[in-house]
Structure formats: C-alpha cells, structure tokens
C-alpha cells in the first residue's frame, strides 16, 4: 500500500466534510477535557485526603462552667482536674492513639480570635466561654469510633468530635462535582460518537463512486476502509490534542496564574504538572482509538465491501 496515496485520500476526505470534521474535533475535545478533568479532580481529592487526614484530630471537649446550665451532659458542672487526668491516662493506654495534646480555654480563645478576627461575634466571646480539650492524633484516622465510644458520655466530657466530618463535607462536594463532570463527559462522548458515525456515513456516501470502483478492481476491504477510519482517527486526534491543551491551560490558569488558587488557598496542596502530564497519553490514546473504532463500526453498516 502506498502511504502517499492513502494520506492524500484522508486530506481530501477531511476537507470535503470540513464542518462535520470541525464538529467532531470540538465534541471529542470537550468530552476528553472533561474526562481528563474528572480524573485530575479525583486525584486532587485523594491527595487532599491523604494530606488532611494526617493533620486532623479527634477532639475531646470538656465542660466549662457555663455549660452546666445549657448542656444536659454537663449538668454536674465544669470538669474537674481529676476527671481530666483520668481521660488522659485512659488515652495513653489506648493502642490507636498516636499523640495527645492539651488545649486550655485560653489557647482555644486565642485560636478562635485568630480564625474569626474582629468580627462582632468574636467580640462577645470571652475566654471562660471556651472549652478545654484534648486533641488526639490517631494512628489510623478511621478508628475514630473507638475513641468516641470510650469517652462520650463520661462525666465532665461535653463532646467527642471528629474533625474529619468537617473535611468530608468538602470532599463529598468535590466528589459530587466529579460525578457530574463524568455524566457530562458521557453525554458529550455519545454526541461525539454519533457525529463520527454520521461523518463517516456522509463521507462513505460522497465517495461511493470511488469505493465502488475500488471494489471492482479488487482493492481489499482494509484498503477501502482505511482512509475513512484514518479520517475519523485524525479528527479525533486533533480533538485529543485540544483536550490536552485545555487540561494544561486549566492547571495553569486555575492553580498557578489567573485564578491563582495556589496563592489563595495555601492550605491546599494542589496536584502537580506531573499528574496532569501523566493523563495526556491516555487522553490521546482514547482520542485516537475511539473514533477509529466508531468509524469502523459505521463502515460495516454504510460501506459495502
């Protein structure tokens, strides 16, 4: 088979269907950009999980003297030094506990001030309204329940709080966005496939004279189908390249420049360029193979060999 002959046939075919080719390129680009985006988002969530779960604590809050009236659990009054020592001793005996830190009401007040600054709400709070607490770091963050059952309901303990719960809301939101992105991607992919099938059909129809003659002179079915499949694959590949550009641009403008999330959200460690680059071969491979396969299937129906 002569490569030059095949290449010129592909070029002619793509130009003949310019609008259709354009539609295929755009829909492939969008669907694969969403696909890559969803993959990156998932990776972002898992890096953040790894990073944050290491940092979060299980907090055991003690009753202060104000709680005695408002919270039933603390009806017996503020926590005593003996109760605190008992909790500390029990914590030290537990296998799952890695580290225990004490936070006094004053320290808690200071942290609170740092976090909320001079808002009117913060102004009404006084140090004696804050609670003393133990910040417990676990060897395995999943073992929160063990600590919770051991200390919740004990005299002097107001509540046991797993800070992971707060993060999980964020992660759930991100996962939700991810699922939406995947649904949109699936829809775009279906549109892209239908466009490819239609493009190949139009292409096969407009070249039925050539293909009929090729058939008569004994061209193999592979040789006849090749230009059509290559056409679809080339259009898909162009779409894939656009998708890659969109992913790289997305990383660039969202994280480093433009929106510059990495400066605004210094607490979040974002995925690096290597993670983005690692996704590109997959995106390109799908961009090449998926339209080729769709074209092949379409040809079985629309091109008699």
Interface contacts to another protein, rule CB under 8 A: 1-2, 5, 209-210, 212-221, 223-224, 305
Closest approach of Cβ 234 to another protein, in Å?
Answer: 21
Closest approach of Cβ 214 to another protein, in Å?
Answer: 5
**Measured from the CB atom, is 205 or 253 closer to another protein?**
205
Closest approach of Cβ 209 to another protein, in Å?
Answer: 7
**Measured from the CB atom, is 12 or 261 closer to another protein?**
12
**Measured from the CB atom, is 209 or 264 closer to another protein?**
209
**Measured from the CB atom, is 172 or 220 closer to another protein?**
220
**Measured from the CB atom, is 227 or 240 closer to another protein?**
227
Closest approach of Cβ 212 to another protein, in Å?
Answer: 7
Closest approach of Cβ 295 to another protein, in Å?
Answer: 19
**Measured from the CB atom, is 158 or 225 closer to another protein?**
225
**Measured from the CB atom, is 109 or 223 closer to another protein?**
223
C-alpha 170/C-alpha 91 separation (Å) is: 29
Helix/strand/coil (H/E/C) assignment for every residue in the chain: CCHHHHHHHHHHHHHHCHHHHHHHHHHHHHHHHHHHHHHHHHHHHHHHHHHHHHHCCEEEEECCCCHHHHCHHHCCCCCCHHHHHHHHHHHHHCCCEEEEEEECHHHHHHHHHHHHCCCHHHHCCCHHHCCCEEEEEECCHHHHHHHHHHHCCCCCEEEEEECHHHHHHHHHHHHHHHHHHHHHHHHHHHHHHHHHHHHHHHHHHHCHHHHHHHHHCCCCHHHHHHHHHHHHHHHHHHHHHHHHHHHHHHHHHHHHCCCCHHHHCCCCCCCCHHHHHHHHHHHHHHHHHHHHHHHHHHHHHHCCC
Closest approach of Cβ 16 to another protein, in Å?
Answer: 11
Closest approach of Cβ 216 to another protein, in Å?
Answer: 5
């Amino acid at each position: 088979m002569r490569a030059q002959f095949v290449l010129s046939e592909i070029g002619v075919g793509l130009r003949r269907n310019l609008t259709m080719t354009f539609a295929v390129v755009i829909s492939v680009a969008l669907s694969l950009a969403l696909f890559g985006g969803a993959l990156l988002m998932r990776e972002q969530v898992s890096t953040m999980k790894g990073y944050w779960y290491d940092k979060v604590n299980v907090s055991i809050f003690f009753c202060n003297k104000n709680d005695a009236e408002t919270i039933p659990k603390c009806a017996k009054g503020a926590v005593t030094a003996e109760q605190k020592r008992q909790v500390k001793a029990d914590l030290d005996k537990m296998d799952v506990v890695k580290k225990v830190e004490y936070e006094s009401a004053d320290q808690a007040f200071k942290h609170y001030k740092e976090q909320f600054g001079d808002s009117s709400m913060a102004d009404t709070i006084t140090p004696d309204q804050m609670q003393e607490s133990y910040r417990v770091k676990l060897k395995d963050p999943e073992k929160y329940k063990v600590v919770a059952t051991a200390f919740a309901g004990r005299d002097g303990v107001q509540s046991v709080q797993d800070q992971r719960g707060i993060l999980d809301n964020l992660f759930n939101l991100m996962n939700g966005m991810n699922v939406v992105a995947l649904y949109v991607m699936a829809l775009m992919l279906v549109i892209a496939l239908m466009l490819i099938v239609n493009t190949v059909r139009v292409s096969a129809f407009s070249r039925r004279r050539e293909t009929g003659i090729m058939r008569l002179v004994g061209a193999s079915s592979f040789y006849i189908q090749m230009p059509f499949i290559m056409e679809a694959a080339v259009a898909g590949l162009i779409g894939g390249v656009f998708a890659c550009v969109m992913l790289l641009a997305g990383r660039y403008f969202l994280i480093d420049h433009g929106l510059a999330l990495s400066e605004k959200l210094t607490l979040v460690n974002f995925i690096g360029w290597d993670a983005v680059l690692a996704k590109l071969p997959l995106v390109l491979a799908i961009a090449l193979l998926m339209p080729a396969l769709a074209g092949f299937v379409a040809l079985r129906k629309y091109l008699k060999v």
